[in-house]
């Protein structure tokens, strides 16, 4: 049984919770490998996908996870809803309570929105990204991806590269990776680091070349153009010089090391076209699609554990 | 946890008894199916799996066959989600085709029949077998669904506040079946 009723952030999860989610994930992966990829586990449960911010991958992943387990899932996207007509978040939430849903999946541009909704409704909530704060399910699926790849996964060295300032994925992943004992460093120019970086207690580098030959996992963050004022931003040329993963840098990576990215990749910025187009043996270390597959299974495990308790 | 609140009342089967029962069932399966050609085994997690392996091994020895054994966890098919869940889901692994096969489904104890109901749903999701036959080591009565076993190790009338405790070497490092009282 999980020690939490909602998945809001990484801090609230105990190591036992994390183990439980990941061990169940393998059972759900088996279901996803069947010809008939559907089990009746959550029949009669109603889940709402409450997205106040555009998303394709995360939203689809949760939708598939719910449907593979026979839950009823309703999509509620802000642009298509009455939010545009000035309805406040609390009124939206009250409407949803009245609809008697069993679980709410929330993405919102404001940090803390998922927690707010959980407090107001007391319905289990999964945070699918709240502002710059957290994206815990992404971190859990990333951890699963790493765990499946490395036998001795406690000793894994990870570098998280890119825009830490605006990235909720970075916040959740740093916290989770530190929690399970990984050696975590970040690679980012000073203008893309938050002021409270000390809080995370990680090594900070400004150039990807400082870590590329040493780490087991190179985790490329998405450049969040939509969250930026252009002035603060490095140019594409600068980005390529200090942060991008290109063929030359891939050739310097350790033999068994892997490349991850939460998607969607800005080709030619975080990762070069040539690296993205690698095929055959060279592409083994690109786990971007594996992350997506595991994402569905991790979310199935979370839905199962939250709705079963 | 269970051990603390259970008091042992009677020994039902010891190691030798279990062995004899499984050998007898192996012969019954062969007799009913006229050999082992079309058989596959599926054990229900957790203790149905070692039982399935033992019976299929005993048939393999008699018939010089190589029967395939799968594992099934029925958690995803339970009808009581939300009331209580088993947090740790065991692996389901049926790495062979079941279409048109005679499936020997194996579990340790037959009680309400709800686990078997769930197993049937789960198996059908993998394909349409020719038949499904049920083996249980212990039938303790108290059925809540119209389900019966085709091969029974031992029928034991029990009261509802008793508990049939099956221990198998592969899981519990000892072979024995006892009736316990919940206290």
Question: What string of DSSP letters covers A99-164?
Answer: TT-SEEEEEESSTTHHHHHHHHH-S-EEEEEETTTB-HHHHHHHHHHHHHH-TTGGG-EEEEES--
A277 DSSP 8-state letter: T
What CATH number does the domain containing B122 carry?
A: 3.40.50.2020
Using CB atoms, pick whichever of A27, A34, A308 lies closest to residue B91. A27
**CA of B78 vs chain A CAs: smallest distance (Å):** 7
ipTM rounded to 2 decimals: 0.75
A20:B87 CB<8 A: yes
Contacts of A24 in chain B (CB under 8 A): 87-89
Contacts of A302 in chain B (CB under 8 A): none
Contacts of B88 in chain A (CB under 8 A): 20, 23-24
Residue B88 lies in a domain: yes
Residue A231: the pLDDT is 62
The answer to whether residues A37 and A302 touch, using CB atoms and an 8 Å cutoff, is no
- Please check whether residue B125 touches A, CB under 8 A: yes
Residue B82: the pLDDT is 62
In chain B, the number of structural domains is: 1
Domains A15-134+294-308 and A136-291 share a fold: yes
> A57: exposed, middle or buried (C-beta count within 10 Å: 0-12, 13-18, 19+)?
middle
- Please check whether residue B96 touches A, CB under 8 A: no
- Residue of A138, A127, A144 lying closest to A9 (CA atoms): A127
Task: Read off the pLDDT of residues B105-148 as tens digits, 9 standing for 90 and up.
Answer: 999 999 999 999 999 999 999 999 999 999 999 999 999 999 99
Residue B83: the pLDDT is 67
Q: Which residues of A touch B (CB under 8 A)?
A: 1-2, 20, 23-24, 26-27, 30-31, 34-36, 38-42, 45, 69, 304-305, 307-309
Residue B81 lies in a domain: yes
A286 DSSP 8-state letter: B
A40:B76 CB<8 A: yes
Q: How many CB pairs under 8 A join A and B?
A: 58
B126:A38 CB<8 A: no
- Please check whether residue B171 touches A, CB under 8 A: no
Residue A93: the pLDDT is 83
Residue B3: the pLDDT is 47
Q: Mean pLDDT by 10-residue block, N- to C-terminus, for chain A (309 residues)?
A: 96 96 94 92 93 91 96 81 64 86 94 93 95 96 97 91 94 97 95 89 95 97 74 79 95 96 93 93 92 97 91
Q: What is the DSSP string of A214-247?
A: T-SEEEEPPP-GGG--GGGSPPHHHHHHHT-B-H
> Is the confidence at residue B159, as pLDDT, over 90?
yes
Question: Does 3.40.47.10 match the CATH number of domain A136-291?
Answer: no
**CA of A101 vs chain B CAs: smallest distance (Å):** 14
Residue B168 lies in a domain: no
C-alpha distances in Å from residue A258, one per residue of A156, A212, A268: 11, 11, 19
Where do the structural domains in chain A lie, given as residue ranges? 15-134+294-308, 136-291
Residue B180 lies in a domain: no
The answer to whether residues A95 and A103 touch, using CB atoms and an 8 Å cutoff, is no
Neighbours of A170 (CB within 10 A): 28
Task: Read off the pLDDT of residues B22-51 as tens digits, 9 standing for 90 and up.
Answer: 999 999 999 999 999 999 999 999 999 999
Residue A80: the pLDDT is 45
- Please check whether residue B76 touches A, CB under 8 A: yes
Residue A228: the pLDDT is 62
The answer to whether residues B145 and B175 touch, using CB atoms and an 8 Å cutoff, is no
Contacts of A34 in chain B (CB under 8 A): 125-126
- Please check whether residue B143 touches A, CB under 8 A: no
Cis geometry, peptide bond prior to residue B46 (ω within 30 degrees of 0): yes
Q: CATH second-level architecture of A15-134+294-308?
A: 3-Layer(aba) Sandwich (3.40)
Integer Cα distance of B134 and B126 in angstroms:
17
Contacts of B46 in chain A (CB under 8 A): none
Residue B89: the pLDDT is 85
Integer Cα distance of A143 and A14 in angstroms:
14
A41:B90 CB<8 A: no
Boundaries of domain holding B149: 15-159
pLDDT band at B58 (very low <50, low <70, confident <90, very high): very high
């Amino acid at each position: 049984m999980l020690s939490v009723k909602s998945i809001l952030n990484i801090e609230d999860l105990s190591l036992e919770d994390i183990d439980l989610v990941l061990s169940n994930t393998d059972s759900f992966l088996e279901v996803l490998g069947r010809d008939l990829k559907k089990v009746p586990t959550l029949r009669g449960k109603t889940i709402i996908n409450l997205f106040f911010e555009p998303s394709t991958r995360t939203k689809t992943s949760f939708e598939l996870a719910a449907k593979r387990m026979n839950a009823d899932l309703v999509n509620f996207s802000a642009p298509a809803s009455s939010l545009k007509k000035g309805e406040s978040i609390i009124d939206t939430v009250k409407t949803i309570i009245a609809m008697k849903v069993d679980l709410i999946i929330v993405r919102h541009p404001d940090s803390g929105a998922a927690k707010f909704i959980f407090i107001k409704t007391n319905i289990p909530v999964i945070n699918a990204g709240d502002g710059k704060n957290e994206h815990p399910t992404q971190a859990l699926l990333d951890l699963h991806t790493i765990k499946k790849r490395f036998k001795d996964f406690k000793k894994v060295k990870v570098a998280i590269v890119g825009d830490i300032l605006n990235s909720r994925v970075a916040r959740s992943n740093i916290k989770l990776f530190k929690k399970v004992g990984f050696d975590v460093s970040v690679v980012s120019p000073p203008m893309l680091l938050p002021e409270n970086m000390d809080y995370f207690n990680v090594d900070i580098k400004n150039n990807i070349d400082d870590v590329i030959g040493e780490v087991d996992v190179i985790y490329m963050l998405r450049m969040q153009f939509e969250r930026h004022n252009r002035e603060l931003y490095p140019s594409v040329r600068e980005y390529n010089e200090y942060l991008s993963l290109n063929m030359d840098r891939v050739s310097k990576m350790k033999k068994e090391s892997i490349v991850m990215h939460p998607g969607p990749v800005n080709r030619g910025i975080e990762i070069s076209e040539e690296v993205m187009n690698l095929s055959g043996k060279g592409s083994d270390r690109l786990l971007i699609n594996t992350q997506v597959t595991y994402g569905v299974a991790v979310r199935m495990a979370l839905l199962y554990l939250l709705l079963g308790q | 946890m269970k051990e603390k609140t259970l008091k042992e009342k009677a020994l039902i089967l010891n190691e030798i008894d279990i062995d004899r029962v499984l050998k007898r069932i192996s012969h019954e399966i062969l007799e009913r199916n006229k050999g082992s050609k079309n058989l596959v085994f599926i054990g229900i997690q957790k203790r149905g799996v070692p039982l399935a392996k033992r019976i299929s091994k005993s048939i393999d020895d008699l018939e010089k066959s190589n029967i395939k054994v799968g594992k099934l966890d029925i958690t995803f098919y339970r009808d009581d989600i939300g009331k209580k869940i088993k947090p740790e889901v065991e692996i389901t692994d049926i790495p062979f085709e079941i279409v048109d096969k005679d499936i020997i489904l194996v579990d340790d104890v037959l009680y309400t029949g709800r686990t078997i109901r769930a197993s049937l749903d789960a198996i059908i999701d993998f394909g349409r077998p020719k038949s499904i036959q049920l083996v249980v080591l212990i039938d303790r009565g108290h059925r809540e669904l119209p389900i019966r076993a085709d091969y029974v190790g031992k029928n034991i009338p029990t009261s509802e506040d008793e508990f049939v405790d099956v221990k198998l070497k592969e899981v519990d490092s000892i072979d024995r079946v006892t009736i316990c009282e919940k206290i």
